Structure 1
Amino acid sequence: MTATIENFNDISHLLRKNANLLIAEDNKDIREQLHRSVDKFFPNVFVASDGQEALEIFLKEDINILLTDINMPRMNGVELVENILSVNEDIFIIVLSAHNNSDMLIELINLGVNNFLPKPIDMAMMAKFFYNACLQLKSTLKLKDDTLTLEELEKLEELQILLEDELIDYSRIDSLGSVQ
């Protein structure tokens, strides 16, 4: 399926409460264009003008998807990615760059970046990446829900065993009382 800005909306409604996007871009015009382009698809879009500001926002908010430039003041995109992944390995990361430095791209891929988006930005490609990010987020959330359900079942089984043990003990006490 080819994702476009229009059909991205098909799954964005599933994530209204869960998908939070952080855009880290030092170029004000690009940052504002990106924000306007994606604001209608995500319940919360946070913007930062450099890597340090992005990290501060990330640490305060529940961010699921990061769209970051590489060359930024105070903290570059590579440092930002390293810091964020040390806190949350599940975040979906899309890197923007006007430069095609293959060594840097390899480093980012090895760090765990999901996608690379060259500048100038191809909006259809960006929509496809967001679509993939939302599918991954949906799967991650379902897995977490399933894990919680499994943990709840395990606790219920433990409780059932305890209750059965208590019932056996009560039956023994009751049988001792009826013997007397």
Structure 2
Amino acid sequence: MKSQLITNPVLRGNFKNANLLIIEDNPDQGQLMKDSIDQCLPEVKTALVSSEAEALSFLDQCRTEEWNYPKLILLDLYLPERQDGWRILEQIKAMPAAMGKIPVVLLSQSSSQHDIAEAYQRGCSSYVVKPRLQADWLRYFQSLRTYWWETVTLPKIEISLF
């Protein structure tokens, strides 16, 4: 993988200042996710927040420290209620410039077709039913690495002072 990063400019761009934000209210699940990401994406700096207020504060701080913009946000839909996840997604998508364009992956225990359809309608980039076992989380984050960091071209953060 390291040699690909050196020779492939897209991958180099995806991994440059690679930050990922996890918004998860369950501390055990949040830590499990963070540990799995650290194993599968060691090049990526991960921030873990547990509430809407912490998430918005983190993103607000990123506005003054542009190099800390996350390239991807993992958002638990039920924080602890579904309306909380919808509200955060809506607030992220309404943010100005590059911040509102950050891909958001919704994670949920729910496999309800209603939740899935509404998630895409509200602008999420992907919807994933949460795995239950640590081995499944590792497989999930390896797939996430392959898709979001090694396959797609992530948007370059364009900073504007105006």
TM-score, structure 1 as length reference: 0.63
Cα-Cα RMSD:
3.0
Aligned residues: 136
Q: Does 2:110 correspond to 1:99?
A: yes
Aligned to 1:178: none
Q: Which amino acid aligns with 2:121?
A: N
Instruction: Return 123-132 or 23-32, whichever deviates more.
Output: 123-132
CA spacing shift, 1:130–1:76, aligned 2, 3 Å:
farther
Q: Does 2:32 correspond to 1:21?
A: no
1:133 Cα deviation from its structure 2 partner? 2.1
SS of 2:73's partner is: strand
Instruction: Return 78-87 or 122-131, whichever deviates more.
Output: 122-131
Pairing partner for 2:92 from 42, 63, 84? 84
Aligned to 1:64: 71
- C-alpha distance in structure 1 between counterparts of 2:56 and 2:128, whole Å: 20
Structure 1 stretches of 4+ with a deviation exceeding 3 A read 9-13
SS of 2:155's partner is: helix
1:96 Cα deviation from its structure 2 partner? 1.0
Q: Does 2:16 correspond to 1:48?
A: no
Aligned to 2:119: 108
Structure 2: segments with no counterpart, 5+ residues: 63-68
- C-alpha distance in structure 2 between counterparts of 1:89 and 1:57, whole Å: 14
CA spacing shift, 1:92–1:83, aligned 2, 3 Å:
same
SS of 2:48's partner is: strand
Q: Does 2:140 correspond to 1:125?
A: yes
Map 1:126-165 onto structure 2 (within 5 A). 126-134=141-149, 135-136=151-152, 138-141=153-156
CA spacing shift, 1:13–1:39, aligned 2, 3 Å:
farther
CA spacing shift, 1:60–1:139, aligned 2, 3 Å:
same
- C-alpha distance in structure 2 between counterparts of 1:29 and 1:10, whole Å: 34
Greater RCO structure (CA 8 Å; 6+ sep): 2
Q: Which amino acid aligns with 2:38?
A: D
Structure 1: segments with no counterpart, 5+ residues: 1-6, 145-180
Q: Among all aligned residue pairs of Structure 1 and Structure 2, give the percentage whose two residues are the same amino acid.
A: 23
